[in-house]
């Protein structure tokens, strides 16, 4: 009996070790300087057993730090705030999420609990409630200009695309377009997750952004690398190919 008990214990221990070795841990948050007081940060979440990157951005102002979207994984909420505080000796005071998916909204309740003012569009606010995602404290009902700490930026809804509620954010003076998941990285040839997408409207919506902001210098996609304006044309091509059924969706990319 003792021999059998030892064998069972050894088998259980080996299985536990295999599970541990088989699991991948999330990479740490990556913060990169974009230009001036603008920073891009990349967080990660597990997708199909693999760490998957998600890009967001923050701006350091005299009145505090403004975040655009939140980290995806809850283990990276506090490390981001700690990193911002250590780097810039400033607190996050405002956050705007660009659509309802969790890779944009997961940290909204966390930020709200820490006194950060959180915003989304009304469409995103309602979809978060409908889909059980975290909701912002406040919402805006139309394209809105925000002024904070000497900086000005505007939200813009171009129409349906990645989701029915996706917005982009434009900084006129710095010529920065924060695209979120509406914009695809030049590093991917996949239009990504189309579960909530409108592939017919997406190319039209991309063209509206290109016409409204024709002189973008930096364009931030929702996932993977690159910050150049060529991401706009690349997104248009992917959206057009997807519309025509020419893309093969090999894996879900948000």
DSSP state letters, 43-94: EEEEETTEEEEEEEEEEEETTEEEEES--SSGGGHHHHHHHHHHHHS--EEE
pLDDT band at 245 (very low <50, low <70, confident <90, very high): confident
Does the pLDDT of residue 237 top 90, yes or no? yes
Active site members: 99, 101, 103, 162, 181, 184, 193, 223
Q: CB-based contacts of 194: which residues, under 8 Å, 6+ apart?
A: 242, 249
Q: Express each pLDDT in 65-122 by its tens digit.
A: 999 999 999 999 999 999 999 999 999 999 999 999 999 999 999 999 999 999 999 9
CA nearest neighbour of 71 among 35, 37, 31: 31
Which pLDDT does position 11 carry in this prediction?
35
Q: Which domains are seen in the chain, by residue range?
A: 27-243 (3.60.15.10)
**C-alpha span between 169 and 61 (Å, rounded):** 17
Does the pLDDT of residue 248 top 60, yes or no? no
Which pLDDT does position 65 carry in this prediction?
98
- Is residue 222 within 8 Å of 55, Cβ to Cβ? yes
pLDDT band at 247 (very low <50, low <70, confident <90, very high): low
User: Using CA of residue 191, residue 192, residue 195, residue 196, what is the dihedral sign?
Assistant: negative
At 160, list the tokens: 């349906």
Q: Express each pLDDT in 190-221 by its tens digit.
A: 998 999 999 999 999 999 999 999 999 999 99
Pairing relationship of beta strands 168-171 and 218-221 according to DSSP bridges: unpaired
């Amino acid at each position: 009996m003792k021999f059998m008990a030892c064998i069972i214990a050894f088998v259980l221990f080996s299985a536990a070790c295999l599970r541990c070795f088989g699991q991948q841990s999330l990479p740490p948050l990556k913060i990169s300087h974009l230009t001036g007081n603008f920073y891009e940060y990349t967080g990660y979440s597990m997708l199909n057993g693999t760490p998957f990157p998600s890009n967001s951005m923050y701006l350091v102002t005299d009145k505090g730090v403004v975040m655009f979207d939140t980290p995806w994984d809850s283990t990276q909420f506090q490390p981001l705030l700690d990193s911002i505080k250590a780097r810039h000796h400033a607190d996050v005071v405002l956050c705007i999420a660009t659509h309802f998916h969790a890779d944009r909204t997961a940290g909204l309740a966390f930020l709200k609990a820490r006194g950060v003012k959180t915003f989304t569009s009304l469409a995103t606010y309602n979809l978060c409630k409908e889909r059980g995602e975290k909701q912002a404290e406040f919402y805006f009902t139309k394209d809105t200009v925000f002024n904070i700490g000497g900086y000005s930026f505007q939200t813009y809804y171009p129409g349906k695309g990645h989701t029915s509620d996706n917005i982009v954010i434009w900084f006129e003076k710095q010529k920065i377009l924060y695209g979120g998941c509406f914009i695809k990285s030049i590093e991917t040839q996949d239009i990504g997750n189309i579960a909530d997408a409108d592939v017919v409207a997406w190319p039209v919506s991309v063209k509206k952004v290109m016409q409204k902001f024709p002189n973008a210098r930096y364009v931030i996609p929702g996932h993977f690398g690159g910050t150049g304006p060529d991401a706009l044309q690349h997104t248009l091509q992917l959206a057009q190919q997807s519309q025509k059924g020419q893309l093969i969706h090999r894996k879900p990319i948000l």
